[in-house]
Amino acid sequence: MTERDATSWSKAKLQEVLVGIVVENEAGRCETSELKRVEGEASCSSRRGKLIFFYEWNIKLGWKGTMKESGAKHKGLIEIPSLSEENEVDDTEVNVSKKKGDGEILKDLMKTAGTAKVREALGDYLKALKTEFTMGMILPTKAFTNQELTVKRKLTENTLQASSPVALGVKIPTVALHMTELFDTTVEQLYSIFTVKDLVQKFSKSPAVLEAEKGGKFQMFDGTITGEYIELLINRKIVMKWRCKNWPEEHYATVALSFMPTLGQTELQLDCKGVPICKEENMKFCWQKQHFEEIKCLLQLITLNS
């Protein structure tokens, strides 16, 4: 059985689908303005080739409205006490309230058209949970793998993948990324930051496991990132098998780092192939914020202490 925790992913998705919902009529306009509370959990497990979902959420949204004629503004809340697999989305309880005062007509608008749109957004979340989040979770049976392997051998462009039956466990849409960044340091210094355990731990601010040799394993950010070194050309290039913990089971991307000396600086070229399409933005964030920016901070510290 394979099980994946969908709680963090769900919180981000609920924020995405529930905030910014707009309804209006001749009397006024209302919009969900913020996600005030999202408590609960979600997970997905794969058993005998079938996906089983569990989710239970208690959600509170803020909404604001404006009367068209007077321009008066009003605020209120939308509470969803129990979104779970036990109830259909259309039957999910949605309670609308408003702060004291006038503006009942806006509250009525949110109770009718607003509630309908909120339920529609919850449906979008559940659809994404069952498709986007679960990519690659159902592994093919042995018979299917053998059949697919035979077919792939006939496709020349997939010969490399066909020669490794293990790789057939996960078939998901992927994208390639290319990023470049300039660092005020030497090629030698920057290369060492990616291959010396102590330096990796300093920029990542977390324990790391590092075997910087061909076939060696690595683990960073408390196990959030794991992989293996495929190729190391000292002070020139590093190629790695790379995966994030929340990617589909057994799926790895290929990350290549090229170190180019440039007028007293070093240009780092990142080429990454095989990133799950739904994780593209996360991967960009990981490299820009958790790697590039943190490495620059570390380089400044090294300079100050030298």
Q: Which tokens sit at 88?
A: 């259909």
25, exposed or middle or buried, with CB in 10 Å at 0-12, 13-18, 19+? middle
Q: How far apart are CA 98 and CA 105, in angstroms?
A: 10
CA distance 182 to 265: 7
Render the burial of 92-118: b for 16+ CB within 10 Å, e for the rest.
bebebebeeeebeebbebbbebbbebb
Largest CA distance in the chain: 72
* C-alpha to C-alpha distance for 53 and 124, rounded to whole angstroms: 15
Which token pair is 189? 């210094």
Are residues 26 and 69 in contact, defined by beta-carbon separation less than 8 angstroms?
Answer: no
CA dist., res. 192 & res. 53, Å (int): 44
Question: Residue 150: CB partners within 8 Å, gap ≥ 6?
Answer: none
Q: For residue 74, what pLDDT is reported? A: 94
DSSP-assigned letter for residue 198? H
Per-domain boundaries in the chain: 2-130, 171-305
Encode the chain (306 residues) as per-residue pLDDT tens digits: 567 888 998 999 999 999 999 999 999 999 999 999 999 999 888 777 678 888 999 999 999 999 998 999 999 999 999 999 888 888 899 999 998 878 899 999 999 999 999 999 999 999 988 888 876 554 444 443 444 444 444 443 443 443 333 333 446 788 899 999 999 999 999 999 999 999 999 999 888 899 999 999 999 988 889 999 999 999 999 999 999 988 888 889 999 999 999 888 999 999 999 998 888 888 998 899 999 999 999 999 988 886
13 DSSP β-pair partners: none
Strand-pairing partners, residue 41, are 56
Give me the CATH topology for the region 171-305: Alpha-D-Glucose-1,6-Bisphosphate; Chain A, domain 4 (3.30.530)
Place of tokens 């129990």: 82
Give the amino acid at 101. G
Which tokens belong to 72? 């008066």
CATH fold, domain 2-130, is: Bactericidal permeability-increasing protein; domain 1 (3.15.10)
Q: Of 107, 105, 101, 59, which Cα lies nearest the Cα of 79?
A: 59
